[in-house]
Amino acid sequence: MDHDELLRTVLASDELPTLPTVASKLITLTSREDTTLTDIADLIAQDVSLSAKILKVSNSSFYSFPQQIGSIKQAVSILGTNAVRSLVLSFSFLSIRNGSRKSRFDFAKFWERSLAAAVASKLILEKVKGVDTEEVFISGLLQNLGELIFARTFPDTYEQVIEAVADNQYDLLNAEQSLLGITHCHIGYEVAKHWSFPETLLQPLRFHHRPADYQDGDRTILATIKAVYLSDLLINILFSSKPEEYHKQFRKEAKKLLGLTNEDIEDILEKVHISVVQAGAYFGLKMKHTKSIQEILQEANIRLSLLNLDYDQMNKQLVAAKIELENLTRELEKKNKILDNLVHIDGLTEIYNHRYFQTALDREIDRSIRQDASVSLLFIDIDHFKMFNDTYGHQLGDEILKDFSSLLKSHLRTYDTLARYGGEEFGVILPATDGDTALLVAEKLRAEIDDNEFLVDSEKHHVSASFGVCSSRPGVEDDFSKSLMISRADQALYEAKRQGRNRVCLWTPKKKWYRL
């Protein structure tokens, strides 16, 4: 069967995956020059489930935006057309599973590796200055789309490919070429072209195994192709039986292809396993707990050192290796804790950051549902802080923010969550706290701030703050959700400012504001 005939067979197959309606329409819509952000938002909003997923990822640490994104229109405006298109395609393809026939092809493992590759591609390309990273995630996710298409449309032949690779008769590309007459790179490219994918997504599909073959000269596309190629090497450290070989190759190729430094490479290697697990949670794909690269390489070195040893030597080596691994595990736990702090702690104020706040509020709402308890939220904004910075300078302003955070923290319970929401705005989550109690807590904090003299470089300074409060409980609200609570606390904060600042306002139904 020649290439054209095989392609016609694939495209005519009932087992060929089909794009969901929204994804298909979105590709068409984004290819038109007269398309507006509103057109895109209106299309996505038609699919409620998809919209909810996109908003969840938009408000997660995947993007770490300082402000809450409350609508698809806002998401499109902030993220950009290409990034939103990538999210829609990611969710669409991650929903594809095996066809009607049984196959040795492991679809769950395929998407697990694909998501890991997407994460790796993003981590890698973020180290390259001056290139667009909006679509590298979807390029990494779909790089092996052709394998999925073969497994669905030619399941019997592709099982022979899998067997040939498992028996070390061929590598994957040669096995596909020998048994099918075409590789998954080419078939993935052709099918995606049939689906009207843009060039920015098509070329990585075609050249991700051979970046040097891409000759069209688009710098961003070439950088994406190289990042996707490197992602395959990186995830093979996580998933293959020869991690040390891929580790060596990855380091060499990353320097050669993208000019990454040793520091860049170490940062990628340290973050990838944690980022993969987090991405699984964001995209609804349960990932097995992945060991760190350090642990994987350490275990590989131990296995190599045990070869050709007699029984007694092996026992001694195993004892030594066990001790070494235990020490490494303790060291990694410390490093992971430090890394976790870097991810969740605001560098200036040393309280929780916006990213952690979003996760914590989700968690407390879930807890309140399980326990049928109230949960309250405070939004706090330092009054006229821009004017303060303009008068005294940002350096002094930063010192005020630090002391302000410490003052708030000292008057909250250990299980309350205090976070810097953005700039001079702070959020406080009060578990198991009703509206009346939250109002009293807010007023206590407001008074403490108003009475306090902030001492910076032997000079005393005074600031005040406005507070927006909302409280909710499962069963009482029709829509007991994070976005609703944030919206109400924000409205209450706005009302506190409107009424003259340095005061507390509690959100109530029909906007009958109650304040102390």
Structure confidence by residue, pLDDT tens digits, 443-487? 999 999 999 999 988 889 999 999 999 999 887 766 778 888 998
| Spatial distance between the Cα atoms of 464 and 120, rounded to a whole number of angstroms | 45
- The partner residues of 471 in beta bridges, in order of sequence, read 376
| Spatial distance between the Cα atoms of 43 and 23, rounded to a whole number of angstroms | 9
For β-strands 465-472 and 504-506, DSSP reports them as parallel
Report the candidate in 150, 158, 257 with the shortest Cα–Cα distance to residue 211. 257
Structure confidence by residue, pLDDT tens digits, 64-82? 776 678 888 888 888 888 8
Quickly tell me which residue has 């050669």 as its tokens.
256
Is 419 buried (19+), middle (13-18) or exposed (0-12) by CB count in 10 A?
buried
What pLDDT does 3 receive? 76
Q: Within 13 Å, how many C-alpha atoms sit on residue 29's CB side? A: 21
Report the candidate in 80, 75, 30 with the shortest Cα–Cα distance to residue 50. 75
What pLDDT does 34 receive? 83
| Spatial distance between the Cα atoms of 394 and 493, rounded to a whole number of angstroms | 24
Identity at 336, one-letter amino acid code: N
What pLDDT does 14 receive? 85
Is 203 buried (19+), middle (13-18) or exposed (0-12) by CB count in 10 A?
buried
What's the CATH number for 97-291?
A: 1.10.3210.10
| Spans of the chain, pLDDT less than 50 | none
Q: In the chain, what are the domain boundaries?
A: 18-95, 97-291, 306-343, 354-515
CATH superfamily, region 354-515: Reverse transcriptase/Diguanylate cyclase domain (3.30.70.270)
What pLDDT does 139 receive? 93
Is pTM, for the whole model, over 0.75? no
Set 135, 176, 424, 425: catalytic member: 424
- Alpha-carbon torsion, ordered 150, 153, 159, 164, to 10 deg: -40
Cβ-based neighbour number of residue 90 at 10 Å: 25
Report the candidate in 321, 117, 322, 128 with the shortest Cα–Cα distance to residue 209. 117
What pLDDT does 417 receive? 94
What pLDDT does 234 receive? 93
What pLDDT does 52 receive? 85
CB 269 within 8 A of CB 293: yes
What pLDDT does 255 receive? 94
Active site residue 424: yes
What pLDDT does 290 receive? 66
